[in-house]
Structure 1
């Protein structure tokens, strides 16, 4: 009976945990392209893509928040970019980090240099006057990372990419051209809010975080679980003493 009670305790803990759930999309900071498969640069904006070439010391960053009472077990990260003139997937590695708090002064809670796999052509980065141009194919670059867990808080994801072509990698903003707080670090410098040279507007960058979300149990849940186990252990003792 004692063994049964301990097994019940373990089963209850497993039920509270979301560890057995299948990985899914936890956060999406897109869209990458519009319904026609295009990311269109419109006047007066002039930036087709932000430089995030690891070899040049350039990188980009954008933020996300995990709500109070939740935690994420992260298993992969999806990045999006292009190399001008590519006709196939050309990305090789991502150098990435997750910062708790500020991207410059916050604590790095996870990081890595991860090989990238082809997540498919998403569409094309074009201008309003060159809508059929296919020089800048935007690909999803998937980074399968060693699983790690983040609790509730405000985080920044920073990243840079390597590729096999001379041009880029380049980071397109989200296709809806919404304003935001995306940042860029140039030649190893500090992160600063990115603004488009032509329009003076800020922007957002597409990325996706995948894994398993779990609600953090309330203290009362643990108390109820332990109380139940204590009752079962008490029953086991009484039965043993009654023999």
Structure 2
């Protein structure tokens, strides 16, 4: 009965399981024209950016935490290896730094990734039916860490078993942004498409739970809900 009461308290207070806290997508187009595709449109010419751990190439993008902080439990990365035909990613090397790209490291790791499914395909305007560049979600179940409210950067690279890549596609909406890249361990520089010279954003997602502490009134609701459930269980036992 104690377990039942605790579960009731958690439900009453809204203490949910891990959920998506932040998404910097979209990875591919939604319903409608070119659904399930990330389309390279002229004058852009870069299908993907190098994010190969073996070559010491890394990419990065920023995000902001607000509302009382986060408890991070997993990270989702999105990439492709040309002509792989299946999920081929092995590990993600990642770090979260505070403030600027050169800020203090808050959390980091080298984490095995699992197959989160094929999201769609990276294609050009003239190869809309190509399946050579399947974009997959690489899920990294990281050691839990906490982030207080503030501005952060996520830095990452990937390993895979196929010969080409891993390659990092930009977001499918082709919006401009402030993503960065480090080539062969050099300093991070702003990332831009080679043809259009426009800056880009990179898709990634952060999962976990918010760390906000409930107000005193919420604790009262928790207690009331738990006591009510306990009373209901007692009445049912007496009736039985």
- TM-score tier, shorter chain, comes to 0.7 to 0.9
Please say if 1:201 is aligned against 2:185.
Answer: no
Q: Residue 112 and residue 19 in structure 1: after superposition, are their counterparts in 2 closer, same or farther (change >3 A)?
A: farther
TM-score by length of 2: 0.81
Please say if 1:157 is aligned against 2:154.
Answer: yes
Contact 1:117 1:141 in 2 (8 A): yes
Q: Deviations over 1:192-231 (max 9, x none)?
A: 110111101001000000000132568xx59x99xxxxxx
Q: Deviations over 1:21-68 (max 9, x none)?
A: 31000000000000210000011001100000000010000000011x
For 1:148 and 1:80, the matched residues in 2 are separated by 21
Could you tell me which runs of 5 or more consecutive residues in structure 1 were left unpaired when the two chains were aligned.
1-10, 226-243
- The ranges of structure 1 where at least 4 consecutive aligned residues each deviate by more than 6 angstroms after the TM superposition are none
- State the Cα distance separating 1:103 from its structure 2 match: 1.3
For 1:150 and 1:19, the matched residues in 2 are separated by 20
Contact 1:19 1:212 in 2 (8 A): no
How do residues 48-197 of structure 1 correspond to structure 2 at under 5 angstroms?
Answer: 48-67=47-66, 69-104=67-102, 106-197=103-194
Q: Secondary structure at the match of 1:70?
A: coil
- State the Cα distance separating 1:20 from its structure 2 match: 4.6
Which of 21, 24, 27 is residue 26 of structure 1 equivalent to?
A: 21
Greater gyration radius: 1
TM-score by length of 1: 0.80
Q: Secondary structure at the match of 2:69?
A: strand
For 2:107 and 2:213, the matched residues in 1 are separated by 20
Contact 1:71 1:216 in 2 (8 A): no
Q: How many residues are matched?
A: 206
